[in-house]
């Protein structure tokens, strides 16, 4: 049964400090995926990677200084390929470098294959209290099209088990798949929400360069919905989830009140986070300076670098106030709660351009929340990048 003794600390509305750990390995590479994920046909030396994670944490701790962790997220790749002991050692390492109070959100991504689901009890014992399942579709033909290794039966088994074991659970679905109708997507969404889920991440299928789908699409062998139909599916997504009690709190994320992802809120509220592992990015504040860190993407190259240098970071860039203001705007306008204008003004040293703001207000793309916050309307979300570009100039 779900651990009823777990109590999540309240959301203060502050950005917080998160720790992101990237496990870069997958059992197979999905044809739509451009994430930093790699397939290895020999067993990964998990003990060696754990030692490297711990060493890199120590190096990042020297940059960040003392911090209180408000969330941990283990992403990938496929973190559920890790042994529970590996997960436990990583969490112990985080606690050794930063203050990690009880009651914070600790999320792990998992693929819903039956073999990985059997490890759920071990992950919970290690300290994971939220799992994010890569379901992606609720019919077998589309799961095969997306290159997933599980079928619907595996997915439902993993969902049920996750609900029993973890205090919090989310899963992902991909829409705007070939030949997908609004009616079919509505049925799939309602089915998803019927599983007593309190958080869904709903992503539009995009064709990314470097993926298998990119080559097929370029050759005319993969036809995806055009922009108009994709927009219709997006609007239907917002309407259906809001009606069923899971409104969007971010462009692609939906939750019942109180079930929002604390870790992702840290990103979107432009908080600090340590990025640990191959390809991980971080943002760390030092006084009035924010440092952007980037780690080497290739797992074994990163591993060698850590063993030689104590870390695998290949970039450490100081972001000036203008760059920070742009990032704050880019991230914060994704949220339904919008952006703290005073914070943006402090970083940018200016007010929003009154003519551009007035135009966007008149077009119904943005709205003010009193004098303190600015947010994008549901209509504006359809052209979010253009809205952000206008406001940032």
* Tokens of residue 81, six digits: 């390929």
Bridge pairing between strands 313-319 and 130-136: unpaired
CB of 152 closer than 8 Å to CB of 133: no
State residue 297 phi and psi, 5-degree precision: -80, -40
The CA radius of gyration of the chain, in Å to the nearest whole number, is: 21
Res 1: pLDDT: 44
DSSP assignments along 101-143, one per residue: -TT-EEEEEE---HHHHTTHHHHHHHT--EEEEEEE-SSHHHH
- Per-residue pLDDT, 2: 53
Q: Return the number of other C-beta atoms located less than 10 Å from residue 393's C-beta.
A: 8
Residue 392 confidence (pLDDT): 82
Look at residue 371 in the predicted model and tell me its pLDDT: 82
Longest CA–CA separation in the chain, Å: 59
| pLDDT at 351 (0 to 100) | 86
Give the C-alpha separation, 240 to 123, whole Å: 33
User: C-alpha angle 7/10/12, rounded to 5°?
Assistant: 165
Token pair, residue 219, equals: 């050759």
Q: Could you tell me how many residues make up the chain? A: 393
SS3 (DSSP) at 176:
coil
pLDDT of residue 370: 85
CB neighbourhood size of 385 (10 A): 9
| Contact by Cβ (8 Å): 89, 49 | no
Which residues of the chain fall below pLDDT 70? 1-4, 114-115
3-state DSSP helix/strand/coil % of the chain, to nearest 5:
40, 20, 35
Q: Which of 256, 227, 273 is nearest to 64 (CA)?
A: 273
Take residue 106 and report the two structure tokens written for it.
């600790």
Return the structure tokens found at 242. 């809001």
Please tell me the distance from the alpha carbon of residue 170 to that of residue 178, in angstroms, as a whole number: 24
- Is residue 223 classed exposed, middle or buried when 0-12, 13-18 and 19+ CB atoms within 10 A define those classes? exposed
């Amino acid at each position: 049964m779900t651990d009823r003794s777990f109590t999540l600390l309240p959301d203060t509305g502050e950005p917080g400090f998160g720790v992101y750990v990237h496990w870069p390995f997958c059992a197979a590479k999905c044809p739509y995926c451009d994430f930093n994920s790699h397939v290895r046909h020999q067993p990964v030396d998990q003990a060696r990677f754990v030692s490297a994670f711990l060493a890199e944490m120590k190096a990042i701790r020297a940059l960040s200084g003392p911090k209180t962790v408000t969330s941990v997220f283990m992403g990938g790749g496929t973190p559920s390929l890790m042994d529970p002991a590996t997960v436990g050692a990583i969490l112990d390492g985080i606690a050794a470098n930063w203050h990690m109070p009880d009651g914070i959100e600790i999320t792990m991504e998992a693929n819903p294959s039956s073999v990985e689901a059997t490890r759920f009890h071990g992950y919970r014992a290690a300290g994971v209290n939220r799992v994010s399942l890569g379901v992606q579709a609720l019919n077998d033909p589309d799961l095969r099209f997306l290159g997933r290794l599980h079928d619907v039966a595996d997915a439902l088994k993993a969902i049920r088990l996750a609900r029993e074991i973890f205090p919090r659970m989310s899963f992902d679905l991909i829409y705007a798949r070939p030949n997908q109708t609004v009616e079919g997507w509505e049925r799939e969404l309602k089915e998803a929400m019927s599983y007593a889920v309190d958080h869904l991440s709903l992503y539009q299928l995009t064709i990314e360069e470097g993926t298998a789908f990119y080559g097929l699409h370029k050759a005319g062998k993969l036809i995806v919905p055009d922009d108009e139909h994709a927009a219709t599916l997006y609007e239907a997504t917002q309407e259906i989830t809001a009606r069923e009690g899971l409104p969007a709190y971010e462009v692609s994320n939906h939750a019942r009140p109180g079930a929002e992802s604390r870790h992702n809120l840290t990103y979107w509220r432009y908080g600090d986070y340590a990025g640990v592992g191959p390809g991980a990015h971080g943002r760390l504040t030092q006084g009035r300076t924010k440092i952007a860190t980037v780690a080497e993407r290739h797992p074994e190259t990163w591993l060698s670098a850590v063993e030689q240098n104590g870390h695998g970071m290949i970039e450490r860039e100081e972001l000036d106030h203008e760059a920070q203001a742009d990032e704050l705007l880019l991230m914060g306008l994704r949220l339904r709660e919008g952006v703290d204008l005073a914070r943006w003004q402090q970083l940018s040293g200016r007010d929003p351009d009154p003519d551009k703001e007035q135009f966007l207000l008149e077009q119904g793309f943005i709205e003010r929340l009193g004098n303190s916050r600015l947010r994008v309307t549901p209509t504006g979300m359809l052209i979010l990048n253009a809205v952000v570009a206008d406001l940032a100039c």
